[in-house]
Structure 1
Amino acid sequence: MSEKQPIKEKSFWALLTEDNFKIEIPTIQRDYVQGSRAAKDKGIPQKFIADIYEALKTNTKLSLEFVYGNTTADKKLHLLDGQQRLTTLFLVHYYLFLATCPHKKENEYGKTFQARKDTWQKERAPLGNFCYATRSNTRDFCIQLLSNKNLPLSLTNAPTKKLPVDTHNEKGNEIFPNLSAKIIDEPWFNFPKDDPTVSSMLNMLDIIQQKFSAEEQECYGFLNKLKGPVAQCPIVFNFLNMQELKLGDELYLKMNARGKPLTDYEIFKSKLTEWLPKEEKILSSPTSQNTAEFKLDNDWQQIFWNKAVVLEDTLEEKYKKGYICRMDMMQFRFFEQIALLLFLQQPSSLGNSTQTESVENILENFQLLKQAPGLFGAQERPENLKALLHVLEGFHDFNNHQDKANTIHKKISEALDNIITKDLSYKARLQLFVLFLFWKEEKNRTNMNILAQWFRVCYNLISNTNIDEAGEFKKALSSLQKLYDGYKQSAKSNFYEFLSSDNPNIEAFDQNQVKEEKEKSRIIQQKALGENVLLEAESHAYFDGKIGFILNFSKDSAGNYNQANFQSYYAKLSRLFDKKLENVFQRALLAFGKSSNIKYNYLPLKGNGYTFCPIDSAIRTKKDTWHKVFDDTNKTNLLKGFLDSLPNDFSYDTLEKFCTDFCTKLDNKYNTFNRIMHPAYCTDWRYLFVKNEYKLLSNYREIRYASPNSVIFNKTSGRTKWQKQGELYTYAFYQYIVRNKYNWNCHYEWGHKQFSIDFEDHSYRLSYNNSCFMLTRYEKKEDNWVPTNRQWQLMLVQFPQLFYIINVLINND
């Protein structure tokens, strides 16, 4: 042990008064559970309180073993172990002070009531130095408990009449009415009753109340013992101030008297502290409060505390989504991901070793505690430790100086929240790498304008490139590194100037998006459009940075960008690309096509078929659907024409009218006689999709198109999506039968090459081929149904007439 003997016997009161510590419980996930209902049912808290009572009553030493934590220059004690025991001691002290609160207003011992009350309040004040620093409900509950203006004096009055048996302690003495109920009834109590820590504290107060006597003299005696010198105090523990001793992993693990291992972060932090330089200061400021060691326990840790508090509000919901809200786990994940990026940058990890260990394996199997000594502890790699500390300082600077109303700053904050809570996707890791590149060097670290430019461009590139395998991720890392190195070497005044003038080669990302980002940088540099206007459009939930097609729409006749045009087009598009309008938007745009030939409509190719383009935020779906529209001149011209035809104040009904007018126009092409033999959908297959009564576009997203009279759509999605298919005309007629509740015993037979309406007994089958329906009679031979030579070929007719004809044929056989 060191000469300073860092392990010392202490009492709870001594920590608050002699050492003058402000005890903070920093770890948000560790609820106070010693008084929980589950523990109470097992008798655990009752036994602990009984042990405390017995020790105080008999002056017997009760050692609570090890309590340890880190202290700061401003006398804050951040507990690593001892939260449960010290919280219970806090509640015991609170109860004893409450039981000894002056409540008799006549003079006693020559003192007035107010003087005695002032003295009591002063003596109780140190309890205010115990708090839950980052758990808002618990922190506020403790503050309100100790507030002098909230003091429930009625609780200290001895009862005037015999109370029920459950309001007597074990010795038969009368006690206060149920303490937790009285507290809950106080006007200041506005905390959720199901908050685990608050409810556990209330339960513990009831247990303390049940065990301890309400007699003031006994409570005075117990309180004086707890407040007395440590050597005479019955309730003590071994306290270790971690700041006074640098510990290795083994000793760290031995410190926990309960046998509960320390968290991975606590172990990593102990090693990191050992690796920090003792003489040379890595950070620029020479003052002690700006050393890495000081910031690790203060400024940098505070970032994660603050984020944990924000996430706490919806803790239960986020747990279901896989969120990890414990502060130490959040820190560990952040350090692990930064270390992983450093590891991937080493030539040995992305060079020859990739022949034996793939990037995918590295990402899946990387362990911070295993790799940290080689990354940060090795003397030959001081740049890694510097990079780690500079990234932390950059994170801290951003956190303190960010403009929370700034769109890009919000995205940066979201990117950091994602990586430390739930999201380890390639996209999330690449976004962290973008920040890592900017922050790992001290120069220009605090330049928020350049950071916003750099992150915005990279965010758009990452968001609009499909990166879903390790090889693509590796190429993207390399491309971002080259892009940032190119910017640093260019000596340009800002990143937009570099991107628009140097025209760098940006590999691994969607080249249409690369071209768009260069053009937007030029637009911003030349102030052709306001940057905020572009940012608003980029932040749309669906576009997510891809707005080049809107820029093209906004050009005037001279080819110059017009801001009013841009804002007008964006206003319409932002409303159309809403999941609520998806179906009517698709139908209206389909109706706006130039003809029944699918090449002159908006539907893009997807594999062997065409897609109606769902409004789905997944990048793979976007790339296969709307992005193909945005990048196709003919299709964007069609979209622009559609937007031009919409009034600024269009509504759902406006879009529905497009569909109705389209169908009415086709209907009116034929007179009454011709409509019987030649319905509108006979000349334009779109009719059955646009006319919403058939509900085709609501359920099916893709079609295979050979001609206007040969349209097939898929039933299922994924790998089997073309295994079950439907044919447009037979399925629409089947929907007509079902919707009108005609009493036909039939079902639709999904197929791969053949599709039909089969009647229940299989005697008849209706199929479609060569622009007409075919009704075929079947007969059963042995165990199989086989077609007969009795067939009727029916020209395309209106569905009511088709139903009538088939009904006659079947019934008359």
Structure 2
Amino acid sequence: MVRDNLLADMKSAILGETKPLDLNFVYGKAEGSKFIPIDGQQRLTTLFLLHLYAFYNDSSKTKLLRNFSYETRTSSRDFLEKLTENRAAVFSSKLIPSREIEDSEWFVLSWKYDPTIQSVFIMLDKIKETFEDVENLDQLLTDQESEPIAFKFLDIDDLGMEDSLYIKLNERGKPLTPFENFKARLIGRLQKLQSTLTDDFEQNFDREWTDLFWSKSWKNFDQTYLAFFSGLLMNAGFFENEANWSNTLDYDKIGEEVFGTAFYTLNFLCQNPDNNEVHQLVFNALKEKRTYQDRVLFHAVTTYLFHAKGIDTGSLRKWLRIIQNLTLNSQIDQPVLYRRAINGINSLSENWNDLIEYFSRNGNVTGFSQEQIEEERLKAQLILQSVDFAEEIYKAEQHPYFSGQVRSALWYSKNGVGKYDKDSFVRYWDKISSLFERGKPKHGHLLRQALLTYGDFTISVGEYKTLCVDDPNEAASTPSLKRLFSNHGNVVKCLLDELDTISDIRSQLEDIVNKATLPKIDWRYCFVKFPELFKWMSVSHLRLRKVGDELLIIPNKSSNGYNYEVFSTALHYALKQQGIRSDLESELGTWAIRYLRSMEHKVKFKNGKFIVIDAKDIVVLKTKTDDPIAEATHHLLKL
């Protein structure tokens, strides 16, 4: 960890175990007796806190230590002043510093939510843990001869900006980091624009915004800060590939809209620390494994805040709700689909303050699933028509499995005269929601078995068909149960009509399966009677394939490998229940398991019948009934 490594290096240098520690370059401005750092605030703050600890029993140093001021927010500045005055009580306590501070009379409860103070808490606890066994720390730290910790000061006014800054630092053997270089060039571009935002942008960049990113990701502070601008610029179309983007970017093409978007977004995040939804949408797009959907939702946030000048006018939640529903329920997993979704949001930006009204009237937009667009139009109309219906829709959209997609319950709630009934919607949605939890159905294959008793619910995937995977974040090639239920088909409706939310759902599903009277020549009977068949299928695909008169279980995504005929596999388990050993085997030159062998007898399933062949290749049985599995089992039991 960066923090642990820095403190460990400081300790080693102070104890003389290693050479003096060079904290590298810190550049800023010297104004009279004041030094205002433009970069390196984290290193300097850590050094200040270490001095607070080293001199916590020396009151003569209080005046000197109070010269350090963190001018991010009034709360940060006031806290550091109080900490400096009360450092003796803080560090002499048996409690860890953060706990002692929180329990102190001078501590203001609201300070807990200041990201600067949160970061200081973490560092104070670690400093005490690291240095509490070091004797005479104050003397060692300020030893004039050894100078265990030092940094080099570079005046920004002497260095200039952009490339000249990079070159002059490089001449000293310490080139700027990618983030520092980007920041210098970005600010240089802003100054050329002579924007009214320039002064506030520069100050916030190194104060409030720095605290924000430090509090969110102090381990990877620079990378996260840089990722914010990478996402902003990529969404704006400045580049399609992030590789080495900050060095290849044409900074002269960056206009005021980009700076305004960054300014209003970051200020909103700083001023609204409790808005967890917006914070999450932004920082999800800054993580290393961000998805195209993360980028699109990030664009939704920044687009709104740019147009709203960083203020939630009361429509932010309404805007985000619809964009989230569209994004999370559309396939956005390729660059071209991502760009279409970005353009779709841009086309909606004029309606940032009244998106529900816009969708209720028209809702024309491209770049997202047409089915989801239609759903949002319908919901917008119902929401504006009825406050009660709106509350039920909002509540249903919170289900983590469906991510705002509730159209099946709406469809089923439509009455004979084309009206949507709120109470009917609630009843159907309660049943649907009781079957699923985050990321999966609650009752797994039992739900599929119950559905199969009402009909063939499989969805075609090219030459295959699938029993629908669990994961709602499906790939385009593998439909999920979320897709099945959102298609509002008759099989799903039959199951829902049979269920009630008062009794135990699992017991009801088991009862449906146990009482099923499927034709025993129907492949669905095999899965309902022998759930072990699901074990032969990949949970990521759950595929079947019809080949001639055979239905094959496909263990993986495609049939390029061993595949298993459904009835033969079911017979294998029927024989196992009777204590009869059997082995599934393939014919020479084929991948499909074409028969099973039991007691030297070969058993094949063809044209709806089992054919039993003895060791002399003589047919000893060809089933005749409509229950071929039971008939074949009965015959083999007699051998």
Normalised by the length of structure 1, the TM-score is: 0.63
**AA in 1 matched with 2:311:** T
Task: Give SS of 2:191's match.
Answer: coil
Shift of 1:265: 1.4
Distance in 2 (alpha carbons) for counterparts of 1:39 and 1:149: 24
**AA in 1 matched with 2:564:** G
1:551 equivalenced with 2:422 (yes/no): no
1:649 equivalenced with 2:510 (yes/no): no
Aligned to 2:396: 537
Distance in 2 (alpha carbons) for counterparts of 1:203 and 1:460: 48
- The structure, 1 or 2, with the larger RCO (C-alpha pairs under 8 Å, 6+ apart) is 1
1:266 equivalenced with 2:180 (yes/no): yes
1:308 equivalenced with 2:217 (yes/no): yes
Equivalent residue in structure 2 for 1:584, among 437, 446, 452: 446
Equivalent residue in structure 1 for 2:602, among 765, 781, 786: 765
1:513-662 paired onto structure 2 within 5 Å: 513-527=372-386, 529-578=388-437, 579=440, 580-591=442-453, 593=454, 600-620=455-475, 624-626=479-481, 629-630=484-485, 632=487, 635=489, 637-651=490-504, 652-662=506-516
Shift of 1:471: 2.9
Aligned to 1:473: 338
Distance in 2 (alpha carbons) for counterparts of 1:431 and 1:185: 39
Shift of 1:628: 5.5
Distance in 1 (alpha carbons) for counterparts of 2:269 and 2:391: 20
Aligned to 1:394: 265
Aligned to 2:202: 293
Structure 2: gaps (5+ residues): 103-121
User: CA contact under 8 A between 1:252 and 1:262: conserved in structure 2?
Assistant: yes
Aligned to 1:375: 253
Shift of 1:200: 7.2
Shift of 1:448: 4.1
User: CA contact under 8 A between 2:521 and 2:628: conserved in structure 1?
Assistant: no
1:343 equivalenced with 2:221 (yes/no): no
Distance in 2 (alpha carbons) for counterparts of 1:394 and 1:328: 18
1:417 equivalenced with 2:246 (yes/no): no
Structure 1: gaps (5+ residues): 1-28, 53-62, 102-119, 154-181, 214-218, 310-324, 350-361, 377-383, 594-599, 667-679, 780-787
User: CA contact under 8 A between 1:765 and 1:775: conserved in structure 2?
Assistant: yes
Q: Which moved more, 1:541-550 or 1:78-87?
A: 78-87
Distance in 2 (alpha carbons) for counterparts of 1:45 and 1:755: 76
1:68 equivalenced with 2:26 (yes/no): yes
**AA in 2 matched with 1:541:** P
Q: Which moved more, 1:85-94 or 1:476-485?
A: 85-94
RMSD, matched Cα: 4.7
Task: Give SS of 1:757's match.
Answer: strand
Distance in 2 (alpha carbons) for counterparts of 1:528 and 1:143: 51
Cα 1:606–1:197, aligned 2, differ >3 Å: closer, same or farther? Answer: farther
**AA in 2 matched with 1:610:** K
Cα 1:89–1:331, aligned 2, differ >3 Å: closer, same or farther? Answer: closer
**AA in 2 matched with 1:608:** E
Cα 1:794–1:551, aligned 2, differ >3 Å: closer, same or farther? Answer: closer
User: CA contact under 8 A between 2:521 and 2:608: conserved in structure 1?
Assistant: no
**AA in 2 matched with 1:308:** S
1:695 equivalenced with 2:532 (yes/no): yes
Task: Give SS of 1:624's match.
Answer: coil
Task: Give SS of 1:397's match.
Answer: helix
Task: Give SS of 2:236's match.
Answer: helix
Distance in 2 (alpha carbons) for counterparts of 1:297 and 1:79: 6
Distance in 1 (alpha carbons) for counterparts of 2:61 and 2:401: 61
1:239 equivalenced with 2:153 (yes/no): yes
User: CA contact under 8 A between 2:603 and 2:613: conserved in structure 1?
Assistant: yes
User: CA contact under 8 A between 2:162 and 2:185: conserved in structure 1?
Assistant: yes
Shift of 1:576: 0.8
1:756 equivalenced with 2:583 (yes/no): no
Task: Give SS of 1:650's match.
Answer: coil
Shift of 1:659: 0.9
Higher-Rg member (1/2): 1
User: CA contact under 8 A between 1:726 and 1:755: conserved in structure 2?
Assistant: yes
Distance in 1 (alpha carbons) for counterparts of 2:210 and 2:98: 36
1:464 equivalenced with 2:329 (yes/no): yes
**AA in 2 matched with 1:341:** N
User: CA contact under 8 A between 1:69 and 1:241: conserved in structure 2?
Assistant: yes
Distance in 2 (alpha carbons) for counterparts of 1:445 and 1:184: 38
Distance in 2 (alpha carbons) for counterparts of 1:439 and 1:125: 43
Distance in 2 (alpha carbons) for counterparts of 1:681 and 1:773: 16
Aligned to 1:499: 359
Shift of 1:371: 0.6
Cα 1:439–1:39, aligned 2, differ >3 Å: closer, same or farther? Answer: closer
Distance in 2 (alpha carbons) for counterparts of 1:279 and 1:773: 82
Shift of 1:560: 3.0
1:732 equivalenced with 2:562 (yes/no): no
Distance in 1 (alpha carbons) for counterparts of 2:604 and 2:559: 21
Q: Which moved more, 1:234-243 or 1:450-459?
A: 234-243
Percent identity of the aligned residues?
21
Cα 1:391–1:758, aligned 2, differ >3 Å: closer, same or farther? Answer: same
Q: Summarize deviations over 1:649-682 as a string: whole Å, max 9, x none.
A: 23211211111121xxx3xxxxxxxxxxxxx753
**AA in 2 matched with 1:477:** I
Aligned to 1:9: none
